[in-house]
Amino acid sequence: MAIMIWNETYSVGVSELDEQHKGLLRMINEMHYAMNDDKGQEAISSIIAQMFDYMELHFSTEEGYMHQCGYLGLLAHRAQHDEFRAKARDLRERVNAGEFVLSFEIVQFLSEWLQSHIMVSDMKYTTLFAEKGLR
Ligand SMILES: [Fe+2]
Ligand SMILES: [Fe+2]
């Protein structure tokens, strides 16, 4: 897997949301760098903490704008966010229980989230948000 570099294809057209999405790319890169240095295991707790920060801030911002704009896909979208929340909780519980969690599992989950959620589901609200004047 390659290091992720932000480019305009990732943009949802709202700078606040783009800045938050960049945090996900930073998590992916931090995990990659750590794994390349054989420090993947040491990085896991920090990445999981960042996942919690990310989901608490970003999902509420995004869902707030969806609500404000009357986005019809809000409930289905929130269900996807709930899957991320469940995964983060699962990872934290397993780490706290002393289970060996593969750093690869985390970086793969985050990379898939970027491709399947941000690039597909988040992109569906961009037209409406732009029409409502969000920038
Ligand atoms: Fe998002
Ligand atoms: Fe989302």
Dist. CA 59 → ligand 1 center (Å): 7
Domains present along the chain, CATH in parentheses: 11-131 (1.20.120.50)
Q: Estimate the crossing angle of helix 60-69 against helix 15-36, to 10 degrees.
A: 150
Dist. CA 22 → ligand 1 center (Å): 10
pTM over 0.75? The answer is yes
pLDDT tens-digit profile of 51-97? 999 999 999 999 999 999 999 999 999 999 999 999 999 999 999 99
Dist. CA 37 → ligand 2 center (Å): 31
